């Protein structure tokens, strides 16, 4: 039986991770996978996570199963962090999932139950795992324009034109903040226009928010999705704790299905629990419990949000430094967008050949579409990158 299997397409981001690992050069620079790194290149465990883990080790008395949808305390804390008071709690069905990817997968399966044949509208470009999972599930998908290559900003007119074709029963997948891979984001008045358009077409928004706190701050990064939630009858949200709590390998995420009323919420909640049971039964708890402890304790929460804010400010500083170095070395403003973008990523606008040259000649690793992870830089490597970019003729 197993010899009937054929090879599966390789994930480009994970492939790049492996290539970087195998590169013997000591001055190589990893701007590939979206994992935060400090100035020394390490991905540290946040102090609040360590403190919560210590406390948990002392206090935890059982490893028995939690609820099928996860622990209620985690769900409430995360709904508070992401949705805030944009919706009353009785409108929000929620389930813990293995990471943000698990939430995306469960959301797609929920969509398939609720609206078989729904087309999923994706930004062009988007995180490659979005179309990969949708294709695997055999669901129809379509693209909306998102990024203007010339200005390296959002192609908002193109986006609105394309989204207007989404029908009632279709789903429009939006990045809550820190668009992956471009780094170009909607402003609040654009979120409002998208909200009005979705209200008109009846298509359901599905927000993937994996970087809350990495863009303009914890509250500002959730403002767009909160606007959708408070103005539309239904919204789906997949949120990840991997990046903003730095607990990548703990696989901590949540799917929220926001309905128009409490009866809709009860049915959605039962469906979320059902889907968890079908796919993996109970969700992982360790990371979720740490997040719950941090969000529920004033001191730990303060410790965490301060460290997260330092991380955000550090990335902003690197963005500004890189834009400045490129201005000085290229004698032009064409890289100014790097300081305007938010989050871990920016799409540089280099050709695949230039990306390859950067890797071969300088040991600089970025994704083939020239997505760079800004957090992979430090004050010393920024000038090296800037010079290499200019030398490669980008």
Instruction: State yes or no: is 208 an active-site residue.
Output: yes
210 is catalytic: yes
Do 157 and 137 contact (CB within 8 A), yes or no?
no
- Closest distance of CB 240 from ligand LMR, Å: 8
Say whether residue 247 binds ligand LMR (CB under 6 A): no
Question: Would you give the distance in Å from CA 220 to the centre of its chain?
Answer: 15
E strands, the chain, are: 29-30, 92-97, 120-124, 141-145, 147-148, 153-154, 171-175, 204-209, 235-240, 253-258, 345-347, 364-365, 371-373
Nearer to ligand LMR, 34 or 70 (CB): 34
Q: Output the DSSP codes for 23-80.
A: ---TT-EE--SS----TTS--PPPHHHHHHHHHHHHH--------TT--HHHHHHHHH
| Residues within window 96-155 making contact with ligand LMR, judged by CB under 6 A | 127, 129
| Smallest gap from residue 30 Cβ to ligand LMR (A) | 11
CB 239 within 8 A of CB 79: no
The distance of closest approach from Cβ of residue 345 to ligand LMR in the complex, given in angstroms and rounded to an integer, is 8
**Of these residues, 93, 95, 210, 257, which one is catalytic?**
210
Task: Sketch the per residue contact string, 173 through 202, with ligand LMR: x for CB under 6 A, - otherwise.
Answer: -------x----------------------
Smallest distance, ligand LMR to C-beta of residue 175, A: 11
Q: Is residue 304 annotated as part of the catalytic site, yes or no?
A: no
Residue 243 falls in the annotated catalytic set: yes
Return the residue nearest ligand LMR (CB atom): 34
Cα(44)–Cα(50) distance, rounded to whole angstroms?
Answer: 10
Q: Which two tokens stand for residue 178?
A: 């820190």
Whole-angstrom distance, CA of residue 196 vs CA of residue 190? 10
Active-site residue among 243, 285, 357, 386?
A: 243
Least Cβ distance, residue 169 to ligand LMR (angstroms): 28
Could you give the CA distance from residue 371 to residue 147 in angstroms, rounded to a whole number?
13
Cα–Cα distance, 53 to 58 (Å, whole number): 9
At residue 140, the 3 state secondary structure works out as coil
- 232 or 253: CB nearest ligand LMR: 253
Nearer to ligand LMR, 243 or 319 (CB): 243
**Contact positions with ligand LMR (CB under 6 A) in 8-47:** 13, 33-34
Give the footprint of ligand LMR on this chain (CB under 6 A).
Answer: 13, 33-34, 127, 129, 180
Active site residues: 127, 208, 210, 243
């Amino acid at each position: 039986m197993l010899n009937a299997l054929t090879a599966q397409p390789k994930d480009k981001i994970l492939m790049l991770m492996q290539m970087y690992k195998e590169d013997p050069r000591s001055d190589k620079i990893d701007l590939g996978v979206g994992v935060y790194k400090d100035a020394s290149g390490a991905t540290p465990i946040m102090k609040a996570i360590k403190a919560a883990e210590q406390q948990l080790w002392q206090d935890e008395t059982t490893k028995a199963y939690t609820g099928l949808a996860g622990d209620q305390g985690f769900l409430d804390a995360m709904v508070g962090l992401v949705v805030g008071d944009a919706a009353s709690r009785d409108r929000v069905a929620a389930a813990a999932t293995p990471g943000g990817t698990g939430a995306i997968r469960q959301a797609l399966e929920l969509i398939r139950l609720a609206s078989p044949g729904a087309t999923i509208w994706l930004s062009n470009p988007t995180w490659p795992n979005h179309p990969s999972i949708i294709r695997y599930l055999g669901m129809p998908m379509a693209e909306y324009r998102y990024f203007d290559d010339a200005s390296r900003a959002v192609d908002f007119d193109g986006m609105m034109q394309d989204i207007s074709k989404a029908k009632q029963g279709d789903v429009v997948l939006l990045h809550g903040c820190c668009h992956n891979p471009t780094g170009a984001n909607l402003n609040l008045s654009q979120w409002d226009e998208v909200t009005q358009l979705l209200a008109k077409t009846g298509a359901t928004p599905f927000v993937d928010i994996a970087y809350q706190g990495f863009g303009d701050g914890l509250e500002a990064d959730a403002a767009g999705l909160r606007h959708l939630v408070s103005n539309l009858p239904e919204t789906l949200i997949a949120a990840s704790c991997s990046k903003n709590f730095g607990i990548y390998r703990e696989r901590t995420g949540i799917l929220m299905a926001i309905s128009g009323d409490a009866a809709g919420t009860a049915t959605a909640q039962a469906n979320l629990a059902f889907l968890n049971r079908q796919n993996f039964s109970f969700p992982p708890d360790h990371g979720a419990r740490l997040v719950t402890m941090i969000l529920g304790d004033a001191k730990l929460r303060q410790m965490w949000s301060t460290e997260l804010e330092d991380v955000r400010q550090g990335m902003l500083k690197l963005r500004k430094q890189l834009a400045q170095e490129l201005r000085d070395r290229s004698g032009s403003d064409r890289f100014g967008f790097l300081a305007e973008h938010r989050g871990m990523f920016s799409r540089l606008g280099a050709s695949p050949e230039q990306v390859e040259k950067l890797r071969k000649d300088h040991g600089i690793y970025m994704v083939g579409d020239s997505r760079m992870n800004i957090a992979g830089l430090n004050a010393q490597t920024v000038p090296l990158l800037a010079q290499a970019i200019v030398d490669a003729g980008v």
